[in-house]
Amino acid sequence: MTMKQLSLLLLVAVCSLQSWCQNKLTAEQQKQIIEKIDKAASAVTSMQCDFTQTKRMKLLSKDMQSKGVMYFKRPDKLRWQYTSPYDYTFILNGDKVHLKSAHSTQNINVQGNKMFRQITSIILNSITGAGLQSTSDFNVELYQIPAETPIPERSSPTRSLSRSPISPSGYFAKLYPKKKEVRQVYNVIEIYFNQSLTMVSSVKMIEKTGDVTQVNLTNVKPNAVVNEKLFDTH
């Protein structure tokens, strides 16, 4: 085999691997999968899990990692609490948001802040995957990750996050924001689902600047008993 033939073979192999790793679903398949996800999401009335957030910055060589716990209760109650390396709590209860850090406490009315409203909506929808039907906010594309395939790396404009713990097979949705407020910040949001499409396993947010934030949910307990006091905004 000549050098030319070998290079060509290598090129073909790389191209076919890339297209194989991300199988975009047809409109009909997408509709079916979204229905399935939505059905599973509507069955979740409450949820509790741990999360790991990794931020990869284009400018710095180091990743920023934080950990915490999350509590969710339908329809719009959320406690997102960072426990390491800093303490920071975000509580959403209807239109009210309570932010608490080691140095300050703040109460915000979501209705008065358009950008905040959009971001809380993204967070809530990303937890259950229910946002996939919202076509006024996002253009949604669904992809299949074939079994035994490494997690797609080319989807991100920057270096991919190392050792992604998300399911080796399953589906992921790419959400392209339509609203100006979200477009100012994010290029695309990717939501990864487990194989049975019942739970979101990871959310990857690719910013306009090329930075990538990935949130991995672990120890997910759907329909867990969650104390109402956890959502107290006072």
Partner 1 sequence: MRNCLTLISLLWLLGTVPCRADHVQQDSVRSCEYSLLMQVRGREITGICMMNIEPDGRIVGTIVNEFGLKAFDFTYHAGKTKIINAMGPLDKWYVKRVLRGDFAFILTHIALNKAAIKRKATGRRPQVGNEQSQACLDSAEREQTRPKVKDAVHRKRSIAVLPNGHVRMENHRYGISYTFIPMRE
Minimum CB–partner distance for residue 106 and partner 1 (Å): 6
Q: Which range of residues in 36-44, 83-91, 126-134, 144-152 is near partner 1 by CB under 8 A?
A: 83-91
Under the binding rule (CB under 8 A), the answer on residue 8 touching partner 1 is no
Under the binding rule (CB under 8 A), the answer on residue 128 touching partner 1 is no
Burial category of 68 from C-beta neighbours within 10 Å (exposed 0-12, middle 13-18, buried 19 and up): buried
Q: Which range of residues in 14-22, 37-45, 60-68, 127-135 is near partner 1 by CB under 8 A?
A: 60-68
Under the binding rule (CB under 8 A), the answer on residue 164 touching partner 1 is no
Tokens 């199988």 map to which residue?
A: 23
Sheet of strand 63-73, all strands in order from the earlier edge strand to the far edge: 23-24, 138-145, 170-177, 186-193, 200-207, 212-222, 46-56, 63-73, 77-84, 88-93, 96-101, 105-109
Q: Which range of residues in 33-41, 50-58, 163-171, 222-230 is near partner 1 by CB under 8 A?
A: 50-58
Element of type H or E holding 56: strand 46-56
Element of type H or E holding 100: strand 96-101
User: Could you give phi then psi for residue 198, rounded to 5 degrees?
Assistant: -95, -15
Applying the rule CB under 8 A, the residues between 170 and 189 that interact with partner 1 are 181, 184-185
Under the binding rule (CB under 8 A), the answer on residue 69 touching partner 1 is no
- CA 134 from chain centre, in angstroms, equals 15
Under the binding rule (CB under 8 A), the answer on residue 85 touching partner 1 is yes
Kindly write out the interface string for residues 185-214 of this chain, putting x where it contacts partner 1 by CB under 8 A and - elsewhere: x-------------------x-x-x-x-x-
Under the binding rule (CB under 8 A), the answer on residue 115 touching partner 1 is yes
Toward partner 1, which CB reaches closer, 15 or 115?
115
Which residue in 211, 172, 215 sits closest to 49, CA to CA?
215
- CA 80 from chain centre, in angstroms, equals 14
Binding site for partner 1 (CB under 8 A): 1-3, 6-7, 53, 55, 57, 59-62, 64, 66, 82, 85-86, 88, 90, 99, 101-104, 106, 115, 119, 181, 184-185, 205, 207, 209, 211, 213
